[in-house]
Amino acid sequence: MRTRTLTLVGLCTFSLAACQPADRGTRTLSAEDEAAVVAAVEQTIESYFDAIQELDVDRGLQMWADVEGFVLAADGELIDGYDAFVSDLRTTVSEVDRILEMEIWSPHTRVLDPDAASTVIEYRWAMIAATGDTVRSHGSWMYVVERFNDGWKIVHSAGTHLYDDYDVAAVRNMEHDFFAAQMAGDQDAWAALVDIDPVWMPPGAPTVAGSEAVREFARPMFEEWVVGDVSADADYGTFGDWGYSAWREGTWTITPKAGGEPISETATALLITHRGEDGQWRFARSMWNQVTPGEPPTPVAGQEPVELVAIGPEEDIAAIKRHFQRYEEVVAAKDMSGIAGLWTEDALWMPPGSPSLGGTQAFMRLAGDFLETHDVVGLEMDLEEVQAADGMAFVRVAASGTYVPLAGGEEPWAFTEREWFIMQRQNDGSWLATHCIWHPDVAAG
């Protein structure tokens, strides 16, 4: 399918009289007047995107001006002239079956004079094409907007579309359908997007393994609650038949069916996806942490490690094992440089009970504060699962040991934690972690 997206930025025919510029003056804007210009310009852009989300070309084009010198620059190509733009936009929209999502954020608006401004936004959208293909794009876009007798309109525009690769787009689309089923209360549709051998690791509860156990675990959610407004700021990736969705922050609401006010919740999560023999991506592993105020939960003794399942090239499996042997050594030695060297510089951590941390420096401050006041004795990083392909890997670890406070008055305590990693092979054959989520283990009662 040829993806026509140069003009998901629209237009419509209206009289040239309506598009005559307002009389320009040399007056100086007050702060209040400048704020009004900014609000009007940003509302113009929002109105355009609202119209396109509904595939209403005529309404969307009301935000564009048919003026001499009109040009749109997109992805290295120019559409020269308003009529050419209209034609391309109408063709583009005719090839869309429906819009799955469309969002703009982070507007940066500069007032040029009382009747003109430029604004730059970031955006993302996803659509189902008439062919049935799912297309997802994100990027940034710039608009020049002028005030005319009938309102503010776009006179120039430029930007870029960045497209998710096919597998990542498929994972994102499946995730959308999964949570749409959850919000619709359709447990059968939800369960159809769970892999045949799933492992769920909820916070504060034992591991849930197997399709029937996961379905039973989710049953109260469908019977007792209405879930709404699920959204996430997430990283996505795929490797072989595996993929991931790493939530820096996910939010949703739950409303009791018995009556009551909606409750807002926030979490971080690492959701592992698997492509089945039928080509369908499904959720295979899921660990999440509630983001709540206060101290993270105290690690406790929990379940015993399970036997390692490792799938991937032998040399990669061996290198990943060496990584975690090194992990044990540098933590025991409080070798901060060695600990930092286990991660990529832009790694994402999702600790229990608190917001995610981005970048090695942020995590090292957290780790350094803890290791200044505690020793970690007898740390064992028992690998339970490795899925490696194409230079990436998902790794499940059962970590155990004893935390020994250095100050008096507090007793040492044994712990077990479940820790999940996304890892990446480096040019020298070593492996570093790019994402990590963990929380204290809880034994089945």
**Ordered domains of the chain (ranges, CATH):** 16-163 (3.10.450.50), 166-290 (3.10.450.50), 309-440 (3.10.450.50)
Phi, psi of 208 (to 5 degrees): -115, 120
For the cut 50, the answer to whether the pLDDT of residue 178 exceeds it is yes
User: Residue 411 above 80 pLDDT?
Assistant: yes
What is the helix, strand, coil percentage profile of the chain, to 5? 25, 45, 30
Asked if residues 396 and 289 have their Cβ atoms less than 8 Å apart, the reply is: no
Confidence of residue 227 (pLDDT cuts 50, 70, 90): very high
* Bridge partner list, 143: 119, 157
Is pLDDT above 80 for 370?
yes
**pLDDT tens by residue, 81-131:** 999 999 999 999 999 998 988 889 889 999 999 999 999 999 988 888 887
Whether the per-residue pLDDT at 378 is higher than 70: the answer is yes
Q: What is the pLDDT of residue 158?
A: 96
Gap between the Cα atoms of 418 and 438, Å rounded: 6
Does residue 294 register a pLDDT over 70?
A: no
pLDDT at 443: 65
Closest by CA to 284, choosing from 311, 251, 266, is 311
State how far the Cα of 223 lies from the Cα of 185, in Å rounded to an integer.
8
pLDDT classification of 183: cutoffs 50, 70, 90: very high
Q: Are 356 and 348 in contact (CB under 8 A)?
A: yes
Q: Which residue has the tokens 């909820």?
A: 202
Q: Give residue 155's pLDDT.
A: 96
Q: Does residue 408 have a pLDDT over 80?
A: no
Give the tokens for residue 263: 């409750």
**In angstroms, rounded to a whole number, what is the distance separating the alpha carbons of residues 395 and 381?**
11
| Whether the Cβ atoms of residue 174 and residue 191 lie closer than 8 Å to each other | no
Q: What is the mean pLDDT of residues 333-357?
A: 95
